[in-house]
Amino acid sequence: MAELSPQDRQRLHAAIVATVRQIIASGGRNDEQDLYGNPGGYTRLMDSKSAGQPCPTCGAIVEKMQYLGGACYFCPTCQV
């Protein structure tokens, strides 16, 4: 993950935009609520329960990484 090619940057940007649009279209994350108390309909692919579990794509063990005061969960095989 040290360097991204221009093509990788474009793919990453497109994936971020598509994911955010999907989250908005489904009313936000399912672990959050709107102003009326209704939960959103978007389920994250990886969250705190994913760490130590197999990746849904390749089966490698999902890892947790601290980042900017929060936590990230990623597959060391698919996402590096």
Question: What does R_g of the chain's alpha carbons equal in angstroms?
Answer: 15
DSSP annotation string for 43-57: PPSS-TTTTTSBPTT
Cβ closest to Zn ion, residue 23 vs residue 46: 46
Stretch of 5-13, 25-33, 36-44, 56-64 contacting Zn ion, by CB under 5 A: 56-64
Among 15, 45, 58, 71, binds Zn ion (CB under 5 A): 58
CB of 75: closest distance to Zn ion in angstroms? Answer: 3
Find residue 64's DSSP bridge partners. 73
CB of 79: closest distance to Zn ion in angstroms? Answer: 7
